[in-house]
Amino acid sequence: MKRFVSLTVILCFLLCSCQLKVDNRASTSENTGRTVSESADFSTVQNGNAFTTEDTTALTAQSDVDISQESAGEESSSYNKSSSQATLSVTQKTSAKATEKPTATTEKKTVTTKNQTTAAKTTSTTKKQTTTAAVSQEEIRGVWLSYLEIPSAQGKSAAQYRNEANSIFSSLADFGINTVFLHARAFSDAFYLSDIFPTSKYVAGTQGAAIGFDPFKIMLESAKSYGLEVHAWINPFRVSSSADITALSKNNPARKIYEAGNEESQVCILSNGIYYNPASLKAQQLVLDGIKEILANYDVAGIHIDDYFYPSTDSTIDSEQYNAYTAAGGKSSLAQWRISTINSFVLAAYSAVKSYGQNKIFSISPAADIEKNRNQLYADVKVWLANEGYADWIIPQIYYGFENSSFPFDETADEWNSLKRHKNVKLICGLAAYKCGTQDAYAGNGKSEWLSNSDILLRQVMYIKTHGSYSGIVLFSCNNIINPSNQVLNKEIQGVKNFYNGD
């Protein structure tokens, strides 16, 4: 009897213990998700003493030492600790800010168009729909779908637009693509329904014109119905490829800022176009607000930015901000300060994305030339790869052939693979489908390589798959896959398709 009682007591104790663990797990689950404040804006990161310009410069300098001393794939020591503490400080400060004054950007927003009211945040209910970040643990087989390839909505019904979208995404799925980087903002405009940026002329016919339906919503739903994961692609600082400010619609924020006096030199007009000043806090905040708007209203897997950072090395672009910095005692050179500025922005963008869920992906596609990134665009890709908190995926645009005189594909891919990389940052390779069947004028001795070979892409896909620790490839761009424009390209695409489908 005593033995029976003892066993009963022990059994009850074990049952209670298990229940406590279940309760604790449930409690933990309820409190995860938005671990970073939605109000993690650029001004907080750069000026809130959480991550100062001097801090970033010091970290950047230290990274050069750490990266040269440690092998690829390992975590850094003192540098990573400094970066993690800085990022944690940003998180703590912005989370406190959100507690004091909650933002409204997380609520489902209703957008009014000329002909209807559309709930912008949508989810597809088709049987092939995948969940957010579904391909995060498998090989990335991606494609960039650029602003030049997105169907125009002008003069079309929603049903007609959906048919065009279905045609695109069914072809991509048939090819073997699983991830699409879909242009959401190519300039200071939008392919989605926005309260910040005017509609793009490429989707509306005229910049700022009304559309009777939400084209981005339809593209997103269509892609998901074919099992494709969609990342919203933006060009953060590019406003226009023309230097004519009056060519922008009157409701374009760049034109409104410029005509109101261009406070903080937020907008800069150069010979090659118009850009938002990367060093202007207000311009940075505008970009971050655009990122938040997309994430608040559309169920995309993440936000993707490419290589549009500093538009020029011209010292006049951000002279107002740099002069203020040196007047306050700053000692960094202009180049070092610009690198720090871009690093701070990238940190803020990453935090903004993660505030909508830790499963949301922030990805960056820099140029393939590592030194050009740092010295001309002021993008320190080594820091972004080596440390958590800058990006989840880095996708260098290795748009070279094997015979390129300056940047042979295999050597360039190996160089990126050899860089020190944090275990939580994926390296993915961008490939140039658009070069197939054309002459590569800047390739030196390899300028005719893309004309005389029809298996370059296949060899590159296989090289990336078997060399190093890449997590996949992304092709530029969509039309080259679904509408090959020449025989060489057609053979190249068919070769990769057969490889993907096991033929």
Count Cβ atoms within 10 A of the Cβ of residue 100 and give its class: 0-12 exposed, 13-18 middle, 19 or more buried. exposed
Comparing CA positions, the residue from 433, 422, 392, 331 lying closest to residue 75 is: 422
**Structure tokens, 445:** 């001795």
Q: What is the C-alpha to C-alpha distance for residues 325 and 314, in angstroms, rounded to an integer?
A: 17
List beta partners, residue 364.
305, 394
CB 373 within 8 A of CB 415: no
Contacts of residue 57, Cβ cutoff 8 Å, sequence gap at least 6: 332, 336, 337, 339, 340
Q: With the CA atoms of 202, 208, 210 and 216 taken in that order, what torsion angle do they form, in degrees rounded to the nearest 10?
A: 50
Measure the CA–CA gap between 55 and 340, rounded to whole angstroms: 8
Stretch (H or E) spanning 364: strand 361-364
What lies within 8 Å, CB to CB, of 184 at 6+ separation is 190, 191, 192, 216, 232, 233, 234, 294, 300
> What's the rounded Cα separation, in Å, for the pair 104 and 488?
52
Domain boundaries, the chain: 42-395
| DSSP character at residue 199 | B
pTM above 0.95, yes or no: no
For residue 170, report the phi and psi dihedrals to the nearest 5 degrees: -65, -35
Could you give the CA distance from residue 293 to residue 310 in angstroms, rounded to a whole number?
A: 24
Res 138: pLDDT: 83
Question: CA 162 to CA 151: how far, in whole Å?
Answer: 10
CA-based nearest residue to 215, from 190, 237, 250, 187: 190
Q: Please write the tens of the pLDDT for every residue from 95-137.
A: 333 333 333 333 333 333 333 333 333 333 333 333 334 444 5
What is the fold of 42-395?
TIM Barrel (3.20.20)
Which stretches of the chain score pLDDT less than 70?
Answer: 1-137
Taking only Cα atoms into account, the Rg of the chain, rounded to an integer number of angstroms, comes to 24
Partners of 238 in the beta sheet? 275
Bridge partner residues of 142 (DSSP): 179, 474
